[in-house]
Amino acid sequence: MKKIKYIDDLAKLDLCRGERTGIPEAVFAEAKQPADVVSILKALVEEKGYAMATRVTSACLEAIKESDFSPYKVQMYPRARIVVMSKKNRKQKQDTGAAVGLIAAGTADISIAEEVKVTATEMGCEVIYAYDVGVAGIHRLIAPLKEMRKKRVSVIVVVAGMDAVLPIVVKGMVATPVIGVPTSIGYGYGGGGEAALMTMLQSCSPGLVVVNIDNGFGAGATAALIAKGAAKGL
């Protein structure tokens, strides 16, 4: 449970993180040099048969495309800014019976919502999602919530920028926990996600918890843990 892979002075990979925490180690690519991201991904997929990178920049994406990952299955999710790779003979993810609901307030929030969706899916959850159903046209929300109740989701992730009141409204309509993800969509006073975060933190709807601005990976991983635990009866 403590196995570490050393890559020169570059990185120390926590190879047992998935077994220990339920969340596989993901490579945060945004602040790294493209060549370093490639080296870390190669070491991780060779050791574990699986690797995932988040917040992948266009430069990192090009470096991955230009590198030799031919022995592996490589899946790129440009909108989510995620790359997943695995050995071609790796067993398919088993159906865990876990279901996560996902709602994005506006089209501008979809990239963060997709980060949530890919993360939860990679962790073995079915994701029932609806995009562009914000409070400016709140009637759009009714049908997706009915579908999520029908699918018996254990948690709903709500992604919203600007005023970001949607997760508060959703929590007032459902019995499941809600994870709010404020996005950096918005401008002027309180822009960049600050007002969105403060709105969610000031919620009067108990049962809503909030992650940091644009933290789709964290929200998706947490939602998956909740849903998988519920599916197991924990």
Amino acid at 64: I
Length of the chain equals: 234
226 touches 177 (CB < 8 A): yes
**Spatial distance between the Cα atoms of 20 and 47, rounded to a whole number of angstroms:** 16
Q: Which residues of the chain have pLDDT under 50?
A: none
Q: What residues does each domain of the chain span?
A: 4-87, 99-231
In this prediction, residue 1 carries a pLDDT of 56
Q: Please, how many CA atoms are within 13 Å of residue 122, restricted to the half-sphere of its CB?
A: 30
pLDDT, tens digit (0-9, with 9 covering 90-100), for 187-233: 999 999 999 999 999 999 999 999 999 999 999 999 999 999 998 88
In this prediction, residue 16 carries a pLDDT of 74
pLDDT, tens digit (0-9, with 9 covering 90-100), for 221-230: 999 999 999 9
Answer CATH for 99-231 from 3.40.50.300, 3.40.50.1970, 3.40.47.10, 3.30.565.10:
3.40.50.1970
**Spatial distance between the Cα atoms of 170 and 175, rounded to a whole number of angstroms:** 10
* Helix or strand holding residue 156 (H, E): strand 155-160
Neighbours of 138 (CB within 10 A): 12
